[in-house]
Amino acid sequence: MIRRSFITMLVILSCSAQAFAVDANELFNTLRRKIFTVQDYTAVVKMKISVKYMRIPQLAGTLYFKSPDKMRLERHGGLSVLPRKNINLTIRNLIPTGNANVIDAGQALIGGKNTRIIKVIPEDEKSDLVLSKIWVDEATLVALRIETSTRNEGTITMDLEYGKYSSFGLPDKLLLTLDVKDFRMPKGMTMDYTESRPDEALKDTKGKKGTIQITYLSYKVNTGLSDKIFTSEPSEP
């Protein structure tokens, strides 16, 4: 009787373990579907850009996004800025959209939270994304870190913190780290150099990193933004 109960317990534990062991492909596809439910958003943000040799004032404004890659930052009390396409400020742009090979890469702690690491390799050879490594919090189904290797922009790392908009996969705070040599400032943005000569300041940027930190104060999600918001030219106040 005891032996039978012991065997029954082992079977139950085995089935429970299998239930929690989600396949890496299934985990990635579920995460991607969640992120892609956001077709557009309007967010009030604060943005801090840190690049060596440059002094860039902190920005405050309204950030508009429309899938797949339309984005506009309208600064409060300043210029309207249209970021260049190569500055990937959204999770969506760092995740392959088509067919991909997904590899389970184990587990790791991020900010004290257990995460499952998955590596995603696009099957489309024309894709700018070469490899995305994603640290997923399986309990809340959000990406806490994404490290993406690209053909044209080097390696981009995004660290994310979540709050009341986690059900949409939208962060409260985002820290983007990328190579300075690939860091192109948005049109209309002004900055000062910490060196007296800009040409000297921009030398030897190989291996140097720049960061963009965004704090999202509020969101309006899936309101049906017009394309006109993203096609108008920046204008001074």
Q: Tens digit of pLDDT for each residue in 205-214?
A: 455 778 889 9
Residue 191: is its pLDDT beyond 50? no
- For residue 34, what is the enclosing H or E element? helix 24-36
* pTM given for the model: 0.78
Length of the chain: 237
**pLDDT at residue 35, as a whole number:** 94
Segment among 29-43, 87-101, 110-124, 161-175 with least mean pLDDT:
87-101
| pLDDT tens column, 59-115 | 899 999 999 888 888 887 655 554 444 456 788 888 888 899 999 999 999 989 999
pLDDT given at position 197: 44
Residue 52 is predicted with a pLDDT of 72
The answer on pLDDT for 37 being more than 50 is yes
Answer whether 88's CB lies under 8 Å from 65's CB: no
CA-CA distance, 63 to 73, in Å (whole number)?
4
**DSSP class of residue 186?**
P
pLDDT one-digit tens code per residue, 113-126: 999 999 999 998 88
Higher per-residue confidence, 165 vs 180: 165
Average pLDDT over residues 121-139: 92
Give the mean pLDDT of 120-133.
Answer: 91
- Binned at pLDDT 50, 70 and 90, residue 193 comes out as very low
Cβ-contact 81, 191 below 8 angstroms: no
Mean pLDDT of the 146-164 span: 90
**pLDDT over threshold 90, residue 30:** yes
Q: Enumerate domains of the chain plus CATH numbers.
A: 22-229 (2.50.20)
**CA distance linking residue 90 with residue 79, whole number of Å:** 21
Cα distances (Å, whole numbers) of residue 68 to 33, 37, 132: 13, 11, 18
